[in-house]
Amino acid sequence: MKKIFILCFFISLFTIAQAKEFNSVKDMPSDKDIFIMFSIPSCPWCERQLKVLKKIKQNRDNFEYMKVQDDNIIYEELIENYPFPVEVYPTSFIVKKEDGILNIRYEFQGYQKKSSILKILDSDDEF
């Protein structure tokens, strides 16, 4: 019984900390900071960044993150409707959805440490 409980606990942690996959901006929550990371499959820094984001998500209820690649459903909508200049991977943005529109709070080029991301999340400054 104890083994089953431990297994269920770790499975729940794993599913809680997974990157969200939104199909449209309409699906994104309005009450959370959303970290959008543009990525490619062969990027080791992108995978490293995901580990940092999982750690942040475990301690913050008002935070979501998503990995976006050019094969994601939402990719075209984001690139066509928002100024997301992506020249290096990972390129990431902290956004907040207000009145159905994404407002970019901050842009990151390349891998970011947990402390750098938390500093921006805890700041009231806008991009």
- Coil/strand/helix, residue 24: coil
Judge contact between 37 and 95, C-beta under 8 A: no
Q: How confident is the model at residue 1 (pLDDT cuts 50, 70, 90)?
A: low
Q: How confident is the model at residue 125 (pLDDT cuts 50, 70, 90)?
A: confident
- Give this prediction's pTM: 0.82
**Cα–Cα dist 48/7, whole Å:** 25
User: What pLDDT does residue 33 have?
Assistant: 95
Domain with 28 in it: 2-121
For residues 108 and 2, which has the higher predicted lDDT (pLDDT)? 108
CATH number, position 85: 3.40.30.10
Q: How far is CA 15 from CA 11, 40, 71, 125, in A?
A: 6, 22, 22, 31
> The dihedral of CA 92, 21, 96, 62: what is its sign?
negative
Domains contained in the chain, number:
1
Domain membership flag for residue 37:
yes
